[in-house]
Amino acid sequence: MSDTKLKRVDLIFGEYSNVKYKVLADTIKLPNDKILEDLLESGLRGRGGAGFPTAMKWKYTAQAPGDEKYVVCNADEGEPGTFKDREILTRVPRKVFSGMAICGKVIGAKKGFIYLRGEYKFLLPELLRELEGYHENAKSIGLDFSIEIRLGSGAYICGEESALFESMEGNRGEPRNKPPYPTTFGYLGKPTVINNVETFVNIMMIMRLGPIQFKMLGTTDSRGSKVFSVSGDTPIAGIYELELGMPLDRFVDEFGDGDTKAVQVGGASGFCVPRKKFKDTVIGFEGVPTGGSMMLFNSSRSMYNVLHNYLEFFEEESCGQCTPCRVGCQQLRKGIEAVKKGDKKSQYLEQLMKLSESMKLTAKCGLGQSVANSFSSIVYNFKEEMIY
């Protein structure tokens, strides 16, 4: 049995080095070009879900004109089914701070912020204590980079990078038009690198192991390991660090309860994969990407209820700024309710699918654009459950 098991990795949560902040101290001695080169070589892509190549983000920001630049750590983890960032910040916060500090050195920033979701405020005292230690160490190795924590206040949309900047600036968390991108116009309109919590930890992994060893994990398109948040109908819900690029059927063999009918990959804004497609689905950027959320549903669950729950979520969390998202989320929810009640014919689902496709094309940010992912994948694969 053991050879069929998915490869477990223990790098992200691996123990700290014996000397405090040793990897950071070693890394800041390297020239910026070497750090960027290693990062590029590693193939690291952002761990928040969108998967943008991290080295490019850093490079563009480093090249952007201006003396005032910022590093922001996105800890506004709000995607349903995701809880990895909380675990990382609880268990290995120093790796996050170090990753941010290295970024600061490379792009020429002196100030970093962690935007922590309000729901995780309970982590604050411990994080502030750890930060004190970080600042002492940074001082002793002559590193001029300070980190401050800003709290969110219960808005999922603030996980969208430009909405997050708006929130940090004291505004409503409404996403901006892009371009300009954060690399040139981020926090306070200054060039900013914004990365997910896990991405910063990956940086430290690459700096410690070197890009070659990092690359040995995962596949060509999805390098390295990833922290997965596993929940739903599984006997072993929790946090697992696994290699990227695994087939979904093997994942289900290991984490399912023997009766898994669907897996929602990537949270409410991700895709629903039905049982018949487990075999052909790869978890990673070449297949179904995920910020780490894996929710399993067994045959006792109504996929109508699942979709309804997601739509309610989006309806409430839509910032209301653009019409496709504000109105679209409501109409999708009302639409599936009408079909379920028999007020509308089942053909109406086709119209709703079109609406979700329009949202994908016209919504201003990732929230409105991604509603179609779960909507169409659930309606398409579980049509009869939507009707009867």
Partner 1 sequence: MATNNNNYIGELVGQYGRSRTSLIPILQGVIEKNNFISDLDMTEIAKELDLSAAQVYGTATFYAFLETQPRGQFVIRICKTITCDMHGKKTIVQTIEDMLKIKVGETTPNKKFTLLETNCLGWCHEGPAMLINEKPYSGLTPEKVHDILREYMHK
Q: Which of 46, 48, 49, 80 binds partner 1 (CB under 8 A)?
A: 80
Q: Using the rule CB under 8 A, is 170 a contact of partner 1? A: yes
With respect to partner 1, which residue has the nearer C-beta, 31 or 125?
125
Q: Quick one: which of 117, 208, 261, 360 contacts partner 1 (CB under 8 A)?
A: 117
Place of tokens 């599984």: 234
Residues in 193-252 that interact with partner 1 by CB under 8 A: 229-233, 237-239
User: Which residue, among 240, 228, 247, has the nearest Cα to 286 in the 3D structure?
Assistant: 247
Q: Which of 82, 183, 225, 373 binds partner 1 (CB under 8 A)?
A: 82
CA distance 11 to 204: 10
Distance CA 356, CA 111 (A): 40
Q: Is 292 in the site for partner 1 (CB under 8 A)?
A: no
Which residues are paired to 240 by β-bridges?
A: 228
Q: Does 343 bind partner 1 (CB under 8 A)?
A: no
Question: Considering Cα of 77, then 79, then 83, then 85, what sign does the dihedral take?
Answer: negative
Nearest alpha-carbon partner for 148 in 128, 167, 163: 128
Counting contacts by CB under 8 A, is residue 161 touching partner 1?
Answer: no
| Terminal Cα distance for the chain, rounded | 40
Amino acid letter, 292:
G
73 CB neighbour count, 10 Å cutoff: 26
Helices assigned H by DSSP within the chain: 22-27, 32-42, 54-63, 84-91, 93-107, 124-140, 161-168, 197-209, 211-215, 248-255, 303-317, 323-341, 348-362, 366-381, 383-387
Nearer to partner 1 by Cβ, of 69 and 208: the residue is 69
Minimum distance from residue 68 beta carbon to partner 1 (Å): 14
Q: Quick one: 15 exposed, middle or buried, by C-beta within 10 A (0-12, 13-18, 19+)?
A: exposed
Structure token pair of residue 282: 């790869």
256 binds partner 1 (CB under 8 A): no
Minimum CB–partner distance for residue 113 and partner 1 (Å): 10
Under the criterion CB under 8 A, does residue 370 sit at the interface with partner 1? Answer: no
- Smallest gap from Cβ 237 to partner 1, in A, equals 4
81 binds partner 1 (CB under 8 A): yes
If binding is defined by CB under 8 A, does position 106 make contact with partner 1?
Answer: no
Should residue 167 be labelled a site residue for partner 1 when binding is judged by CB under 8 A?
Answer: yes
- To the nearest whole angstrom, how small is the minimum distance from the Cβ of residue 20 to partner 1? 29
Q: Is 295 in the site for partner 1 (CB under 8 A)?
A: yes
**What type of residue sits at position 165?**
F
Task: Quote the distance between the C-alpha of residue 120 and its chain's center.
Answer: 16
Nearer to partner 1, 229 or 281 (CB): 229
Q: According to the binding rule CB under 8 A, does residue 83 interact with partner 1?
A: yes
Choose, by CB under 8 A, the member of 301, 326, 334, 383 that binds partner 1. 301
Q: Applying CB under 8 A, does 313 fall inside the site for partner 1?
A: yes
* Window of 1-9, 71-79, 139-147, 351-359 that interacts with partner 1 by CB under 8 A: 71-79
Is residue 225 within 8 Å of residue 244, measured between CB atoms? Answer: yes
Distance of CA 30 to the CA centre of its chain: 29
Binding to partner 1 (CB under 8 A) within 141-160 occurs at 150-156
Is residue 309 at the binding interface for partner 1, with CB under 8 A as the rule?
yes
Q: Please list the residues that pair with 75 across neighbouring strands.
A: 116
Least distance to partner 1, CB of residue 282, Å: 23
Q: How many residues bind partner 1 (CB under 8 A)?
A: 50
Find tokens 């006997």 and name the residue. 235
Q: Which residues bind partner 1 (CB under 8 A)?
A: 77-83, 86, 117-122, 150-156, 167-174, 188, 229-233, 237-239, 268, 293, 295, 301, 305-306, 309-310, 313, 316-317, 319
